[in-house]
A and B are shown apart, each in its own frame.
Chain A
């Protein structure tokens, strides 16, 4: 979920000229199909694709996507003969959010189609329709697509029901799966030991803050004067986040009203629940326990345990100190219309905010935004003992791996026809290729870095990025992905049903309709009902399988 990291980046003219030269060379080399795969050529290729169209040179167009697709075709050519899939037709279902996702895939796959002779038909969906469309297709047996772009939370619905095709070994080699960041490796993407997913994206919430707030001498003085403990600094724990948020109420920064943390209060089709999750994981995810949302053996919800209720209460307590329209602010509003436009000083979000902070036209916080992993907590709830533990290592951190990113999956209905099966996997593997994905993480695509090899800061700097900024940004992502206590979302069927039901109850809590505990109990009751509706035994089984 990344956007326009590259836009408006300062880049001197000489680098740019070098870049264009490289592109023209690459174009020739690519079209001849004579790319060698020595380490050196590989590096060159990566440098070359990063120059299409060039950082700061405006949004890439269809022609650019096709060029990148063409240049990254080498891996396909080693596994597929020219014209091998002649006459094969495949249907690809994905999103076309903001004219990204599917539109890029079209460009990337065009040279693949030309080379292999296959033809791809496209189903574009709006994100709001995605879940409903997928579920209805599955339930009524109208699965009309061979390849699907899908988030990991839906794996339970698709892979758990045996609708996906198992990944052949040659694909694993072609896409170099070892390169994935820690949390995307198995068990994510696998069910019952079988691998299904080609990752094309990584997702987690990170903590974005305003450096100017925390360097403000007046605020620091006021902080001392009001008798707060410690220096006025970027909060490392949610306890501090709360304290700072309340402290900032009524203060001014640079002549404008100061605000602390921004909670998205309005529902977002289930996605809003991730933001409560980000507040709760540090309380609820104990290092000794993989589970944090449900009990593993019974699927008993933990959402009404003291850890979650504390997170909900935190929001209630913070709300009076947040901006006046917060009740109707969904995550899009808090991210793009508040934080980036200069309102508020702390925010949990996916990587988009970081990339937009520096590059988006609407952002006024480009030079004053810092990144870190989500705040921790001084104490963490132990669901086993029912006690709040203080860890010897200090505060408990548990980055929220919200949504686990997009992947490409092949549907089982192609398995009957070996040629079609190979074609579908080859197309999917092309999109999940190592080099192609570098380009996607550097340019507007809708996807974030998700491979170890994406975190080579040298490559980004050579491509034209500001070193200090990109280091801070990439580190916050890498540290979250590789965190040993990362809270990984349960990949069980119908997970968005749980989120959606929770949003309804939360909406009442925020509007003052019930207390944190009452509301949380209602959420738990609704969740129990959903679990029963879907089938408890099966859910428990799949939950265990997904945890690994």
Chain B
């Protein structure tokens, strides 16, 4: 029986590589060095041209991009020539790696630079470095800490979403009629764009005066169903809206996991006379842990970026109760053109997230290993 959705380690193939001729190795190294030199020269020329030191160069940096692509091809070919089998293996990873690096290397460094400047788009003077000022402002910024606290609530909301999604996945996995219909229906909310969701649902369906949900609530007995005016109700409403969009995503992952479960195990449990409740907790749930962890972690990462719905539906109000870090950054960055400070918030947030996610992954993997051992 295969039980292998492990998060941190896969199965690894080890085979011995055949010997590679020295000449081929030398040619391969030569190719890589030549390509690297070529790329370096082009970058250098273009930099000098851009800096105004020399007068010949390209109109823009596009040719450098082409040079990078050529270099990447040469690097790949060189790898194969030098390292043979190992080079072939590296070729699997290289395209994605080189692509990601070239896309993010400039934005990352430029972003870090921006984070330490006083850049305001409306300012007359060019941006200048201002040391740790942005960081100091951040530490004293009540809006940031408030938003960060809200993120904790939103993350807890993910667990609720997970519970509901698990329930739905179990229902869909049960022996039911019209399964196809229900599956499609349950999937659809995921397809709507956040802009449309926040307007058509947040501002229309949940509208205080004419929204059907508000009307329904009035019938149930909530006298003034204002979904976005008191802090906790507003927060819960946002979580509900967000859940509506994202539950299908978790549900699909879980459903796929459920369908991959070997039937025999559950059959066996039934024969043993376990109640459905017992068989769920003792068999299904533990078996589903790896998938669950994947789903929850992906979901948490998306949740940490929650912004669109909040911006459109509440603008972070009332009094900051629904503000997220991202929506705060949006305001700082887009409405106030405060690029330097906005970027600093985001960089700090990024670091916090990376720490949080790595801890989470470590915690989860340890925990999963223990599960595996039992």
10 CB-based A-B contacts, threshold 8 Å: A131-B337, A270-B335, A324-B224, A324-B226, A324-B229, A497-B338, A503-B315, A504-B316, A504-B331, A513-B319
Q: Does A547 contact B (CB under 8 A)?
A: no
Q: Does B363 contact A (CB under 8 A)?
A: no
- Chain A residue nearest to B228 (CB atoms) is A328
B337 touches A266 (CB 8 A): no
- Chain B residue nearest to A499 (CB atoms) is B335
Interfacial chain B residues near A328, Cβ < 8 Å: 208, 226-229, 234, 314, 317-318
Separation of A174 and B333 alpha carbons in the complex (Å): 41
Given the interface contacts A337-B207, A501-B336, does A533 sit within 8 Å of B123 by beta carbon? yes
Interfacial chain B residues near A156, Cβ < 8 Å: 122
Extra 5 A-B pairs, beta carbons < 8 Å, given A493-B124, A533-B120: A129-B334, A337-B207, A494-B121, A507-B316, A533-B338
Separation of A534 and B224 alpha carbons in the complex (Å): 45
Given the interface contacts A267-B315, A511-B319, does A324 sit within 8 Å of B208 by beta carbon? yes
Given the interface contacts A325-B226, A341-B209, A500-B331, does A534 sit within 8 Å of B317 by beta carbon? no
B315 touches A330 (CB 8 A): yes
Interfacial chain B residues near A323, Cβ < 8 Å: 208
Closest 5 CB pairs of A and B: A511-B319, A494-B122, A328-B228, A500-B335, A325-B208
A269 touches B318 (CB 8 A): no
Interfacial chain B residues near A265, Cβ < 8 Å: 317-318
B318 touches A327 (CB 8 A): yes
Question: A264-299 toward B: CB 8 Å interface, digit per residue (1/0)?
Answer: 011111100000000000000000000000000000
Separation of A152 and B49 alpha carbons in the complex (Å): 39
Q: Does A510 contact B (CB under 8 A)?
A: yes
Given the interface contacts A328-B226, A497-B338, A507-B320, does A534 sit within 8 Å of B315 by beta carbon? no
B331 touches A497 (CB 8 A): no
Given the interface contacts A324-B226, A337-B207, does A507 sit within 8 Å of B121 by beta carbon? no
Separation of A305 and B317 alpha carbons in the complex (Å): 26
Interfacial chain B residues near A510, Cβ < 8 Å: 318-319
A343 touches B209 (CB 8 A): yes
Q: Does B349 contact A (CB under 8 A)?
A: no
Please give the distance in Å from B50's CB to the nearest CB on chain A. 13
Number of A-B residue pairs having CB atoms within 8 Å of each other in the complex: 125
Q: Does B242 contact A (CB under 8 A)?
A: no
Q: Does B321 contact A (CB under 8 A)?
A: yes
Q: Which residues of B contact A (CB under 8 A)?
A: 118-125, 143, 207-210, 224, 226-231, 234, 314-321, 331, 333-339
B228 touches A494 (CB 8 A): no
Separation of A157 and B124 alpha carbons in the complex (Å): 9
Given the interface contacts A266-B314, A267-B315, A511-B321, does A135 sit within 8 Å of B121 by beta carbon? yes
A535 touches B123 (CB 8 A): yes
Residues of A237-270 whose CB lies within 8 A of B: 265-270
Residue among B118, B121, B125, B319 with most chain A CB within 10 A: B121
A132 touches B334 (CB 8 A): yes
Separation of A81 and B318 alpha carbons in the complex (Å): 58
Interfacial chain B residues near A181, Cβ < 8 Å: none
Separation of A535 and B118 alpha carbons in the complex (Å): 11
B224 touches A497 (CB 8 A): no
- Chain A residue nearest to B202 (CB atoms) is A328
B318 touches A135 (CB 8 A): no
Given the interface contacts A341-B209, A494-B122, A533-B123, does A512 sit within 8 Å of B319 by beta carbon? yes
B317 touches A507 (CB 8 A): yes
Q: Does A392 contact B (CB under 8 A)?
A: no
Q: Does A161 contact B (CB under 8 A)?
A: yes
A494 touches B319 (CB 8 A): no
Separation of A324 and B118 alpha carbons in the complex (Å): 42
